[in-house]
Amino acid sequence: MANRAKATIFDIAREAGVSKSTVSLVLQGSGLIRPETASKVRKAIEDVGYVYNRGAANLRKAHSNVIGMVINDLTNPFFAELAVGMERVFQSAGIVPFIANTAENPVRQEEVLKSLMEQGVAGLIVSPARGTTPGAFRRIETAGLPVVFAMRRLPESRIPVIAPDNHRGAYLATAHLIGKGHRRLVFFGGSSDLVVYHDRLGGFREACETQGISDRDALVVEGETSRRGGIACLETALAMAEPPTAALCFNDAVAFGAMLALRKRGLEPGTDFAIVGFDDVAEAEHYMPALTSVAVDSAGLGERAAHVMLKMIQSRTTRAEDHIGAVNLVVRESCGPDRRTRNRTAGSGSTN
């Protein structure tokens, strides 16, 4: 019946009339203990209101069964999904992952990583904050702790990465727009401090290049990766002397913003201006019009990252293969009908 001071295995031992070692073995589920003894001990555990002290145990065991997940933005459902995917895997492996949010702040990230290490985690899955400095993980690497990057990678790092095929996704989406007859395209949102940005922009550019869109017709408008950023991007684009007719957006939030801004100007997304998003968050399907977007299966990537981590821990290595997840373009309504059948002169040689 729960004393003031917390109970230890010694209290259990006294209660059950055995030694502390026996209690320890029971706690670890060892088969060496006689079943009757074990159940006697288990009863005592209940009676004294014992809670296991993992910190003390780790002092000897060196193997800690807790894994840290460091997420750059938990309020973005895209990353929340990632976390949930990982959790699913860890749960069935009997591990409780602790999630920490960095709010896209490298300083905060530093604190969080430090704290997680001090806590003695067995491994770390990280979606690094924007602007993470190259050296941020050096200390962790030299400590020999397994780390996996999810969704994002760092420019020069040797840490394994689990991420979607951003290049290919952007390529597919852009090709789709070009196939619809668009001849002047724009890439909306993001900024170059993010590796993902370069990947997606690269796919956009390659598609333009291989499908005969000149560099001058492959525009780029940087901006915040949020609804607000999308609104701003669209304003900028439409203010151009020769505005584009279609946009590939850095992510769905930007796409929603762009569609909102279109509506505000009396333009209909899809028919007047084509929009493709990236990530395919749950909301995309339910929007009006439903958003065409590149699906990346973030929960699936989370599961994959968790599996890789488990494997690394098990084989006590700090290296693993990168894994680039498949993407696919989910075509909905936000790119409207085929432009070529609708307006034969559109997009080429307009003098306006």
Binding of DNA by 19 (CB under 7 A): yes
Binding of a second copy by 111 (CB under 8 A): yes
Which residue number, 14 or 340, has a Cβ lying nearer to DNA? 14
Segment 20 to 79, residues that bind a second copy, using CB under 8 A: 49, 51-56, 58-59, 66, 74-75, 77
Of the candidates 37, 42, 40, 50, the residue with the CA atom closest to the CA atom of residue 9: 50
Radius of gyration for the chain, computed over Cα atoms and rounded to the nearest angstrom? 26
Binding of a second copy by 84 (CB under 8 A): yes
Segment 254 to 273, residues that bind a second copy, using CB under 8 A: 256, 260, 263
Amino acid at 251: N
**Minimum distance, C-beta of residue 105 to DNA, in the bound complex (Å):** 27
Which residue number, 60 or 286, has a Cβ lying nearer to DNA? 60
Which residue number, 61 or 264, has a Cβ lying nearer to DNA? 61
Reading the block at residue 282, the tokens are: 């749950």
From start to end of the chain, where are the E strands? 66-71, 96-101, 123-126, 147-150, 161-164, 185-188, 218-221, 246-249, 274-279, 292-295, 323-325, 328-330
Segment 56 to 85, residues that bind DNA, using CB under 7 A: 56-57, 59-61
| 283 contact, one of DNA, a second copy, none, CB 5-8 Å limit per kind | a second copy
Binding of a second copy by 119 (CB under 8 A): yes
What's the CA angle centered on 245, arms 240 and 251, to 5 degrees?
95
**Minimum distance, C-beta of residue 259 to a second copy, in the bound complex (Å):** 9
Segment 332 to 351, residues that bind a second copy, using CB under 8 A: none
Q: Which residues contact 115 (CB under 8 A, 6 or more apart)?
A: 100
DSSP one-letter string for 191-243: -TTSHHHHHHHHHHHHHHHHTT--GGGEEEE-B-SSHHHHHHHHHHHHTSSS-
DSSP one-letter string for 90-139: HHHTT-EEEEEE-TT-HHHHHHHHHHHHHTT-SEEEE-PPTT--GGGGHH
Binding of a second copy by 326 (CB under 8 A): no
* Among residues 36, 142, 158, 216, the one that binds a second copy under rule CB under 8 A: 142
Segment 145 to 204, residues that bind a second copy, using CB under 8 A: none
Binding of a second copy by 143 (CB under 8 A): yes
* Among residues 1, 4, 34, 352, the one that binds DNA under rule CB under 7 A: 34
Binding of DNA by 18 (CB under 7 A): yes
Whether residue 257 contacts residue 228, with contact meaning beta carbons closer than 8 Å, is answered with yes
Which residues of this chain interact with DNA, rule CB under 7 A?
5-6, 8-10, 18-22, 24-25, 27-28, 32-34, 37, 50, 52-53, 56-57, 59-61
